[in-house]
Amino acid sequence: MNGAALVCAAAGERYGADEPRWRGDSGELLDLEWTPAFFPERIRQRSPNLWRYREAIPVREDRNIVSFGEGFTPLFPATLAGQKILIKLDHLFPTGSYKDRGATVLISKARELGIRAVVQDSSGNAGVSIACYSALAGIRCEIFVPASTSPAKLVQIRHAGATLREIPGSREDTARAARKRAEEVYYASHCWNPFFHHGTKTFAFELWEQLSWRAPGTIILPAGNGTLVLGTWIGFRELMEAGFLDRMPVIVAVQASACAPLAAAFLQPSAHTLPAIELHPTAAEGIAIAEPVRWKGIVQAVRETGGIVQTVEEAEILGALRETGAMGLCIEPTAAAAVAGAKKYLAQNDAVGPVVTVVTGHGLKSPEKLLPHP
């Protein structure tokens, strides 16, 4: 952690990594600058959870770690669209979604900073993760969600003892309400707070180890606010810079056509503002984000690795939900969107192997949306 800093690329500001802030004085995004280390022989001997990459996670003292022993999820071989691929089972996290990767690191850092209360806004799963890890840490927690969020996710947040604020209107109305509250309480935002991305990056480390210390050729991921896309990009960059890899995997981001601002931005390389899009209802509630704050970084990561933003229609999402259900995988519709994207990308492109996709959320998060088989 020596020499670690929070840096604002847009305004050129720098702050200490132990300042409890989530944006620069200019109001712009911050990234964490620091040097991780990797010791494969130590990693191999540790417990099978994401803290095995200890020297690459920016929390200073072990006693501050807030953990259920999460991570190191299975990499499951399957056949999709006639091609062999690997599916990382990230619906098997303690709270039922991969967001626990970010929450365990962000809440550990909050404990290290002596923070007593946090606020967060979410379309559901990030709120669940922050609520559960705050409960474990003994930190007070307030979660803002759109009133339309799946009931099971609301129950999970309340069950963990967090204060739940249901906001009428869009996901952006919820974000505005939370940012107002964040003037008084530490903002544990998975979109703004860079420590969250330094948790989601463990997705990359696990793939690297599970593929015998190599990178996949192509990784197909769902994208709303892009925390998994950005985390994966950061993780593989860190492995490259540490000399453990000599190329980046192709990163493909999947969005529902019903809400696809990143796809629009990807098609307009010179755009300086996020293109306005038409919004339609989608079963993939976890990626229905009209204004992802880190959109430039997400599109750049995808473009730089030779990937694309793949869109999928509602019928394709429901088709993938049915197909994974028939395989015995119980996942939520948002997770099925990535599987649908993987099928479509593989059908239309000559993908570099090995190809990896992920299932990000458990089906019991939204049982009312799961389908009976025909």
Ligand X SMILES: *Cc1c(COP(=O)(O)O)cnc(C)c1O
Rounded Cα–Cα distance for residues 155 and 172 (Å): 22
Q: Beta-carbon neighbour count of residue 287 at 10 Å?
A: 27
d(CA 178, CA 297): 23
Q: Please report how close the Cβ of residue 87 comes to ligand X at its closest, in angstroms.
A: 14
CA proximity to 102, closest of 219, 186, 202, 208: 202
**Gap between the Cα atoms of 211 and 244, Å rounded:** 13
Is 223 among the residues that bind ligand X (CB under 6 A)? yes
End-to-end alpha carbon distance in the chain: 54
Closest contact distance (angstroms) between CB of 55 and ligand X is 25
Nearest approach, Cβ of 200 to ligand X (angstroms)? 7
Candidate residues 344, 361, 363, 366; the one interacting with ligand X per rule CB under 6 A = 361
Site for ligand X in 288-327 (CB under 6 A): 289
Contact map string, positions 263 to 292, toward ligand X, x by CB under 6 A: -----------------------xx-x---
| Stretch in the footprint of ligand X (CB under 6 A) among 28-36, 212-220, 225-233, 344-352 | 225-233
If the CB atoms of residues 38 and 195 are measured against ligand X, the closer one turns out to be: 195
Is 226 among the residues that bind ligand X (CB under 6 A)? yes
Between residues 99 and 111, which has the closer beta carbon with respect to ligand X? 99
Give Cα separations from 309 to 137, 138, 170, 244 (angstroms). Answer: 37, 39, 23, 27
Q: Which is nearer to ligand X, 50 or 245 (CB)?
A: 50
In the complex, least distance from residue 362 CB atom to ligand X, rounded to whole angstroms: 8
100 part of the interface to ligand X, by CB under 6 A: no
Phi, psi for 345 (deg, rounded to 5): -65, -45
- Indicate the residue among 245 and 302 with the shorter CB distance to ligand X: 302
From 99, 111, 198, 344, residue interacting with ligand X (rule: CB under 6 A): 99
224 binds ligand X, rule: CB under 6 A: yes
Nearest alpha-carbon partner for 94 in 150, 160, 34: 160
Q: Minimum Å distance from CB 137 to ligand X?
A: 21
Alpha helices (runs of H) in the chain, residue ranges in sequence order: 40-45, 100-112, 125-137, 151-159, 171-181, 194-200, 202-210, 227-241, 261-266, 295-304, 314-326, 333-348
Contact range with ligand X by CB under 6 A, out of 58-66, 223-231, 236-244, 312-320: 223-231
**In the bound complex, what is the minimum distance in angstroms from residue 360's beta carbon to ligand X?**
3
Alpha-carbon distance 30 to 7, whole Å?
5
Site for ligand X in 122-181 (CB under 6 A): 125-126
Burial 156-185 (b: 16+ CB within 10 A, else e): bbeebebebbebeeebeebbebbbeebeeb
- CA dihedral 304→352→294→181, nearest 10 degrees, is -160
User: Is position 335 an interface residue for ligand X (rule: CB under 6 A)?
Assistant: yes
Which residues of the chain form contacts with ligand X (CB under 6 A)? 97, 99, 125-126, 222-228, 286-287, 289, 332, 334-335, 360-361
